[in-house]
Amino acid sequence: MAQADIALIGLAVMGQNIILNMNDNGFVVCAYNRTVSKVHDFLKNEAKGTKVIGAESLEDMVSKLKKPRRIILLVKAGQAVDDFIDKLVPLLEAGDIIIDGGNSEYRDTTRRCQSMKDKKLLFVGSGVSGGEEGARYGPSLMPGGHKEAWPHIKDIFQSIAAKVGTGEACCDWVGDEGAGHFVKMVHNGIEYGDMQLICEAYHLMKDVLGMDHDEMAKAFNEWNKTELDSFLIEITANILKFRDADGTHLLPKIRDSAGQKGTGKWTAISALEYGTPVTLIGEAVFARCLSSLKEERVEASKSLSGPEGTKFSGNKTSFLEDIRKALYASKIISYAQGFMLLRQAAKEFGWSLNYGAIALMWRGGCIIRSVFLGKIKEAFDRDFELQSLLLDNFFSNAVQDCQDSWRRTISTGVQQGIPMPCFTTALSFYDGYRHGMLPANLLQAQRDYFGAHTYELLSNPGTHIHTNWTGHGGNVSSSSYNA
């Protein structure tokens, strides 16, 4: 008997929590896992006393679903998703909907959308962020794919998503094809950037200002009451305070070698691929790579010296505020870059993305959730077509207000030999972006000099010319390759 509103395949913790979340919101969910004993266990334990029903097979699951059938896959990204799609397709009929809520690569989602369309089925690839806790009580959801599916899943998705402000859901339709998974990927890249920025602030507090862990925890607690109010600042305060069973702080005992699962790297690769200067996320990925060379760094530290002995002699209270403002300004740059990448991808793939809605999706539920994202949403509400966050008055004023602090932080840090890859790349981006004239005129001349790549004149853009720089150059201009 068709009684379930939606089915979910894959009963790992994320899957179970999303099912319970949907159940809490009044939907009847059919649970399925390839290892059927897992379904029985779930019904007997976590789902006991709920309206959740189980399925013994995919056929059984499909027969229990109301039409159009809605099926969420929460299985390992990659082959497992294709395998389940292949098994489901013969059991479904036109208009049924398959939703991939895993961490799929956006190109795979685009490919699956195309192949499902031929079969008259609807496909949705949805980014899901917020971890196990988010899945249970309100994740950030970023669905994209076949838009015809949206009216049929909107109610369920927006009900289970995190809510902010006056109950607005952190979930809206993102766009065509792999847009949902692309936006999720950029979210993860931005998360890398936010984390590295906080680490740089911590490094400066610890090694320039000589603050102890409780003082630093207090500072982050204070910062959490400013524009920086966010989940990551909040957990940083808690981490700094945390003491071991032996009563001493845990943080300084943790090995300083960062891991990564690759989504930050994918964002940086996309940035390179589409020619968008998303420098901060790139540096955040490289900072993790450098950190992971632990043994090599320990060796190097024995022979490479820095500006040792230069003690900070300024006003500590005001330098702490400088660091806060450097972090805030750098964060604005990072988000401006992230949205540039979204804009470029939209152009590349012909997606029409709703940037304000994306900011709202990230406002709650996910790791980068913050008050700041509410400000970004407002900027896109003011101007739907906003070219860059830096051109919005609120953000340009904010950067202006932070600018002196930002430069002082970086110059002091450089003099003290503190690595600040993300603070510095953010400032360099800002200084590059605000220059009407960059030294790329020389670059073009060099390219024309050695490779006859041609250049344009400021007075006559669009016309490519080649100069006989040496008096013995040839007359051919290179068009076969671009150096």
Ligand X SMILES: *[C@@H]1O[C@H](CO)[C@@H](O)[C@H](O)[C@H]1NC(C)=O
How far apart are alpha carbons 228 and 193 in whole angstroms? 14
Q: Which of 2, 3, 12, 242 binds ligand X (CB under 6 A)?
A: 12
Q: Which is nearer to ligand X, 397 or 468 (CB)?
A: 468
Token pair of 248, please?
Answer: 């001493």
Residues between 444 and 473 that touch ligand X (CB under 6 A)? 468, 471, 473
Q: How far is the CB of 100 from ligand X (least distance, A)?
A: 13
Instruction: Report if residue 11 touches ligand X, rule: CB under 6 A.
Output: yes
191 as an active site residue: the answer is yes
Q: For residue 32, say whether it is annotated as part of any ligand binding site.
A: no
How far apart are alpha carbons 346 and 294 in whole angstroms? 39
Instruction: List the beta bridge partners of residue 71.
Output: 7, 98
Output DSSP code: residue 159: H
Instruction: List the beta bridge partners of residue 8.
Output: 31, 72
Q: Which of 25, 34, 159, 433 binds ligand X (CB under 6 A)?
A: 34
Q: Tokens 């152009």 appear where?
A: 347
CA 171, 173, 177, 183 torsion: positive or negative? Answer: negative
How far apart are alpha carbons 447 and 193 in whole angstroms? 33
How far apart are alpha carbons 97 and 101 in whole angstroms? 13
How far apart are alpha carbons 98 and 68 in whole angstroms? 10
Residues between 316 and 345 that touch ligand X (CB under 6 A)? 317-318
Instruction: Report if residue 33 touches ligand X, rule: CB under 6 A.
Output: yes
Closest CA to 73 of 19, 150, 147: 19
CA atoms within 13 A on the CB side of 183: 36
Q: How far is the CB of 465 from ligand X (least distance, A)?
A: 9
Rounded to 5 degrees, φ, ψ at 30 are -105, 125
From the candidates 184, 206, 265, 331, give the one annotated as an active-site residue.
184
184 as an active site residue: the answer is yes
How far apart are alpha carbons 458 and 293 in whole angstroms? 46
How far apart are alpha carbons 242 and 403 in whole angstroms? 33
Number of residues that bind ligand X (CB under 6 A): 23
Q: For residue 462, say whether it is annotated as part of any ligand binding site.
A: no
Residue 2 C-alpha from the chain's centroid? 38
Q: Which is nearer to ligand X, 221 or 428 (CB)?
A: 221
Q: How far is the CB of 304 from ligand X (least distance, A)?
A: 34
Q: Which is nearer to ligand X, 207 or 234 (CB)?
A: 234
Q: Which is nearer to ligand X, 116 or 228 (CB)?
A: 228
Q: How far is the CB of 178 from ligand X (least distance, A)?
A: 22
Q: Tokens 């990927």 appear where?
A: 185
Q: Which of 50, 63, 115, 221 binds ligand X (CB under 6 A)?
A: 221
Closest CA to 461 of 441, 483, 432: 441
Q: Which is nearer to ligand X, 8 or 281 (CB)?
A: 8
Report which secondary-structure segment, H or E, holds 190. Answer: helix 179-207
Residues between 62 and 101 that touch ligand X (CB under 6 A)? 75
Q: Which is nearer to ligand X, 85 or 271 (CB)?
A: 85
Instruction: Report if residue 178 touches ligand X, rule: CB under 6 A.
Output: no
Q: For residue 75, say whether it is annotated as part of any ligand binding site.
A: yes
From the candidates 168, 177, 191, 200, give the one annotated as an active-site residue.
191
Cite the annotated binding site by residue number: 10-15, 33-35, 75-77, 103, 129-131, 187-188, 192, 261, 288, 447, 453
Cite the annotated binding site for NADP(+) by residue number: 10-15, 33-35, 75-77, 103
Catalytic residues, by residue number, are 184, 191
Cite the annotated binding site for substrate by residue number: 103, 129-131, 187-188, 192, 261, 288, 447, 453
Q: Which stretches of the chain bind ligand X, using CB under 6 A? A: 9-12, 33-35, 38, 75, 221, 224, 229, 234, 237-238, 315, 317-318, 468, 471, 473-475
